[in-house]
Amino acid sequence: MKKTAALIPGGIAAVTAAAISLMICSCSEAEYGAPEFPVERESEWEIISDELYVNLTYDMWEYKSYLLVPIADLQTGHNLWIYDKNTGKRVWSGINDGRGPGETIGGIRNTYFKDGILTYYDDMKGSILRYNVDSLLSGVFSFTEEAYDAPLWTSMMVECGDNRLFMKNVGFASNNLQEVSRFELLDPSGDTLDLYDFWPVKDVEERFHIYVSCYRYSLSPDKRKLAIGTSVGAILETYAVKSNSIRQEAVRFFYEPDIDVSPGGYDYNERTILGFNDIFTTADRLYTTFDGEVNPYWNDGDRRTYTKIAVFDWEGNPIELIHTDYSIDKIAYSEAENTIYAAVNDPDGIMYLAKMKL
């Protein structure tokens, strides 16, 4: 049976500390201010692929001489493309839609890559699927699959060492609104180690729509730090994930989220500022796809959105802002090459893979 933190040694102290931290954060009003970057410059993308027949990717990872691109390919039903990053040629595609062995339903929304293993956390199928990329490239469909039961209202999950951190978002009309914490850290046995419940957006209806399915997040390479950004407005949060606790390191309120909530959902308005579209982290940097301007589509505008790369440290301090010549979807950073790889859209909405030396 799953235990609450209060039933685990040290759990009461952990939850109490989280509650105190929440009270401190909740008692002060957020002060918004646009990020001020000490370095601001322009750069151009180098297109490295032919035209893609999609205009949305779900993630991107760099590995050896390859780019791994989780994708919803409706033509083939595949959920992964692999490209040669030097020639721009697609060298493999696969991982079918479905409930069969090695197949996925919703895993492309929640992926992680390290040491040659690409992991899909598929809460819709109730499986964690791990694919050996070298085996895929050699023609062997090598994978492991294990069942997992996500807590109610889970949006995303990340593995932190042997533990699992679940990011949740309860529906604002739910009867158990006050009973579901935003973060829940579980050990391998499924026992709760810690709960944490700070929300930067206080209005429950607004925060539901802002966080329900549009998490912009990234886990550090050592799986000990987590960064989260909003796509509406621009709020950047960082957390430290320890062996038995999750604690906020920093929250930066750059632009206040402003949307119109209705019974059927929400819509942007003439004040809605676009924030983060993707985050990729290293040990000391957050590389983000950033906008920071009012959504043009609700203001008769024609500018391209998300054309900037904004770099921050783990305290949320702005480091550099790079203006580019294409709209940017997903990014991956190569430390060895000091290069950002990306899926980008041209002015006609046609998507390509591209790279940019920093």
CA distance to 55, 95, 129, per residue, from 83 (Å): 16, 15, 21
Asked if the model's pLDDT at residue 101 lies above 90, the reply is yes
CA 344 to CA 278: how far, in whole Å?
12
Q: Give exposure, 181-209, as e/b (b: 16+ Cβ within 10 Å).
A: bbbbbbbeeebbbbbbbbbbbeebebbbb
pLDDT score at 99? 94
For 317-329, the pLDDT digits (tens) are 999 999 999 999 9
10-19, 217-226, 295-304, 343-352: least confident range: 10-19
Helix, strand, coil percentages for the chain (3-state, nearest 5):
10, 45, 45
Asked if the model's pLDDT at residue 9 lies above 80, the reply is no
* Phi-psi map region of 338: left, alpha, beta (phi>0 left; psi -120 to 50 alpha): left
Task: Determine the average pLDDT of the residues in 261-290.
Answer: 93
CA 116 to CA 92: how far, in whole Å?
15
Asked if the model's pLDDT at residue 86 lies above 60, the reply is yes
| Residues near 42 by beta carbon (within 8 Å), at least 6 away in sequence | 322, 323, 324
Give the residue among 91, 76, 93 at the shortest CA–CA distance from 141.
Answer: 93
At 53, give phi and psi (nearest 5°): -100, 25
Q: What is the end-to-end Cα distance of the chain in Å, rounded?
A: 50
CA 317 to CA 210: how far, in whole Å?
23
Q: How confident is the model at residue 28 (pLDDT cuts 50, 70, 90)?
A: low
At 35, give phi and psi (nearest 5°): -65, 140
DSSP state of 4: P
pLDDT score at 161? 86
pLDDT score at 1? 35
Task: Determine the average pLDDT of the residues in 28-42.
Answer: 92
What residue ranges do the domains of the chain occupy? 5-357
Instruction: Take residue 355 and report the two structure tokens written for it.
Output: 């790279």
Structural contact between residues 241 and 185, judged by C-beta atoms closer than 8 angstroms: yes
| 318-323 vs 39-42, strand pairing mode | parallel
CB atoms within 10 A of CB 42: 9
Per CATH, the number for 5-357 is 2.120.10.30
Beta-strand ranges (E) seen in 153-215 are 154-160, 163-168, 183-186, 192-196
Quick one: CA dihedral 140, 146, 147, 152, positive or negative? Answer: negative
CA 164 to CA 337: how far, in whole Å?
31
CA 341 to CA 92: how far, in whole Å?
18
pLDDT score at 306? 97
* 3-state secondary structure (DSSP) of residue 37: coil
24-38, 82-96, 290-304: least confident range: 24-38
Q: How confident is the model at residue 191 (pLDDT cuts 50, 70, 90)?
A: very high
pLDDT score at 302? 81
For 246-273, the pLDDT digits (tens) are 999 999 999 999 999 988 788 889 999 9
- What is the pTM for the complete model shown? 0.90
For 196-235, the pLDDT digits (tens) are 999 999 888 888 888 876 569 999 999 999 999 999 999 9
Give the residue among 138, 143, 142, 170 at the shortest CA–CA distance from 155.
Answer: 170
Tokens 């591209």 sit at which residue? 354
Mean pLDDT of the chain: 89
Q: How confident is the model at residue 342 (pLDDT cuts 50, 70, 90)?
A: very high
For 148-189, the pLDDT digits (tens) are 888 888 889 999 988 999 999 877 666 665 677 899 999 999
For 118-147, the pLDDT digits (tens) are 999 999 999 999 999 999 999 999 999 999
In this structure, the chain runs to a length of 358
Give the residue among 240, 172, 241 at the shortest CA–CA distance from 201.
Answer: 172
Biggest CA-to-CA distance, the chain: 58
